[in-house]
Chain A
Amino acid sequence: MASENGSILKQFTDGIVANNPTLVLLLGMCPTLAVTNTVENALVMGAAVIFVLTMSNLVTSLLRHLLQPHVRILVFTLTIATFVTIADLTLRAYVFEVSKKLGPFVPLIIVNCIIIARAEVVASRHGVGRSVADALGCGVGFTLALTLLGAIRELLGTGGITLLRESGWHWHLDPKVFEPHAWVVMIMPPGAFLTLGAVIGVVNHVRARRAERGGK
């Protein structure tokens, strides 16, 4: 894992690249597989996770000197659960349709490993600035990874990408080249594993090559 003693900016960018929770740390795989069937679902899930991660790291960092060992996990869980509930209520109020499609996966953010891992590793040991930077970095990294996976799956699986906003605004991308040959498997569970595996494979290859070149 990249060093935690660098600048706060590095803490942020590490969350997106070197420590990307989905593609490098391999945390939070369950929602990754489940909500990347469309780009819209991926983006909304990413936004919810950024919010929860940031608030959780912020609160944990503020309380870090008060955490007696036997209440650590309790405090983490209490904090995360509260903010996830707030996020869920917000989604149900403002993007009702999408929240219905995400189903149980928004409440399940409570048990998303990314959040409790960052609380334990960074927020409970470092100041507010570094903790928030880490949260934003990991959150953005998670969102970018999910959006990439979602774009691949939705494009290959349905032939286009559609973002339908509640207010009637509608963004649709349809290259028409895929339409007649859409691979329905891509929007189903096997497609999730195939896409995730392929993307992680590419990422690992790139990282190995860079390590080789860096080591010389």
Chain B
Amino acid sequence: MRKFVRESWLILALGLVFATLLACAQTAFQPRIQDNQARALNEAIGLVVPGTVRTERVRVEGYDRDVFRCLAEGQTVAGWAVEAVGTGFADRIRLVVGLSPDARSITGLKVIENVETPGLGNKIAEEAWAAQYRGLDAGRPIVVRKRPPAADRNEVQAVTGATISSTAVTEIVNRALERVRPGLERL
């Protein structure tokens, strides 16, 4: 026992001191970090469901991620915001997709977390590319094409040179919509 203490007292002491230091840092910064994450989410919701002034988190049967009922001025439902996560080309992609009040069409899309290739894959986070999803039919799968989308088809054009990232986003959206719409329609 004495040998153990003599050989490892420094490590034990440092462990204690550093753990305390980390606990303090965590306590000090966690509120700000959570605020940052909430702000990013709220900004995204504001973008994907225009006219939102307030949101309420709702539980949707069969879907385990966050879904928000978005309320406009005067308590009318402006739409729904659905959080979805999946694997992209590099690592995970987290996004919010906006739906119309009847959950029939997409009102917007915003990728809030991604580590795709800068300059190529991370164009999926750009307003101009995500705008393609606006107005698409939420009841049918969306297809990714390498040419401009045909009218009246549920299509988007992939980012040039970033087909995998583009397809990943579309798949995440398709899968999320498939799972969330049945439960959502009952609300």
Interface size on B, residues (CB 8 A): 26
Q: CA separation between A164 and B91, bound complex, in Å?
A: 24
Q: Tell me if B73 is interfacial: C-beta within 8 Å of chain A.
A: no
Interface string of A89-102 (1 = CB under 8 A from B): 11011101000110
Contacting residues, chain A, for B18 (C-beta < 8 A): 78-79, 82
**Cα separation A101 to B119 with both chains bound (whole Å):** 12
Chain A residues lying within 8 Å of B152, measured Cβ to Cβ, are none
* A188 contact from B8, B30, B33, B119, Cβ within 8 A: B119
Residues from chain A with Cβ under 8 Å of B25 in the complex? 85-86, 89-90
Name A62-79 residues within 8 Å CB distance of B: 63, 66-68, 70-71, 74-75, 78-79
Chain B binding site: helix, strand, loop or mixed by DSSP?
A: helix
- Chain B residues near A143 (CB-CB < 8 A): none
| B4 in contact (CB, < 8 A) | no
Q: Is A16 an interface residue (CB 8 A)?
A: no
**Other 17 A-B pairs with CB < 8 A, given A67-B10, A79-B14, A188-B120:** A37-B119, A66-B10, A70-B7, A71-B7, A74-B11, A75-B10, A78-B14, A85-B22, A86-B21, A89-B25, A89-B26, A93-B36, A96-B33, A96-B40, A104-B115, A184-B161, A188-B119
Task: State the A residues within 8 Å of B (CB).
Answer: 37-38, 63, 66-68, 70-71, 74-75, 78-79, 82, 85-86, 89-90, 92-94, 96, 100-101, 103-104, 157-158, 184, 187-188
B interface residue numbers (CB < 8 A to A):
7-8, 10-11, 14-15, 18, 21-22, 25-26, 29-30, 32-33, 36-37, 40, 91, 113, 115, 117-120, 161
